[in-house]
Amino acid sequence: MKIIITGASGMVGHAVLIECLEATIVKEVLLINRRPIELHHPKIKELLVADFEQIPSHAQNLAGYDACFHCMGVSVMGLSEEAYTKMTFGYSKILFDTLYKSTPGMIVTYISGVGTDSSEKGNSMWARVKGKTENYLLHLGFKDAYAFRPGIILPEKGVKSKTGWYNTLYVLFRPIFPLFKRMKNTIGSSDLGKAMLLLLKSPNEKKVFEPYQIKQLANK
């Protein structure tokens, strides 16, 4: 299979990339990034896009892939609703529309987050925007589409956060990671990629997965 990944420079996307590189069913991975990542592998190809609004101009490079794992995201901290909506829903919509026009038979999985508001009417701005993004994807018409809602993600296989103090906390609490992983809303970073890949082989009627359901998929 040939897979597109966004956000591979971040912790979540990088974790998903590692699982794809280890999976025998994956033959090629196209990374959509602003800057090159510091990882070289024969399966990896990179498409550098400085401005995500220009994704449609790269449509020919995105055609013919079997799946897209959309892991790109930004923190809501310090952003207005307008800015956060543009960077979360707006950029995702541009990507989804471009992929659907070129390859509607693709399977797309979007990483949102626990607490996402599918009604789009709640008090939490980020949750409404994430819900709007999920809803748009799930009703667009792809061969199949899923939304993953991870909570706390524990880094595995050398994966690191781009936020320095997060990494400090991870180092301090690593000895008790096994205890954390028993918590309902906590998953290991490897669980995301494993669960995504399983859905490519075994489609599921369920389209939105909470943390404990992601763990269940990953451990099948």
Longest dimension (CA), the chain: 47
pLDDT for 173: 53
- For the chain, helix, strand, coil in percent to 5 are 45, 15, 40
Is 165's pLDDT higher than 50? Answer: no
**Which residue, 39, 96, 101, 97, is CA-closest to 68?**
96
pLDDT, one tens digit per residue, over 19-69 is 999 999 999 999 999 999 988 999 999 999 999 999 999 999 999 999 999
Average pLDDT over residues 63-92: 95
pLDDT band at 163 (very low <50, low <70, confident <90, very high): low
Rounded to whole angstroms, the Cα distance separating 220 from 218 reads: 6
Is 185's pLDDT higher than 80? Answer: no
Is 175's pLDDT higher than 70? Answer: no
Q: Which of 29-43, 72-86, 123-137 has the highest mean pLDDT?
A: 123-137
pLDDT for 154: 84
Average model confidence (pLDDT) for the chain? 91
Average pLDDT over residues 169-192: 70
User: Looking at 61-70, 123-132, 166-175, 179-188, which range is the least confident one?
Assistant: 166-175
User: Looking at 25-34, 70-79, 102-111, 190-199, which range is the least confident one?
Assistant: 70-79
152, HSE (Cβ side, Cα atoms, 13 Å): 14
Percent of the chain with pLDDT over 90: 75
β-bridge pairing 107-111 and 28-33: unpaired
Q: Is the distance from CB of 203 to CB of 195 less than 8 angstroms? A: no
Is 213's pLDDT higher than 90? Answer: yes
Task: Give the H/E segment covering residue 146.
Answer: strand 144-148
Average pLDDT over residues 201-212: 96
Q: What spatial distance separates the first Cα and last Cα of the chain, rounded to whole Å?
A: 20
Average pLDDT over residues 112-138: 97
Which one is the CATH code of 2-218: 3.40.50.720, 3.90.1150.10, 3.30.420.40, 3.40.720.10?
Answer: 3.40.50.720
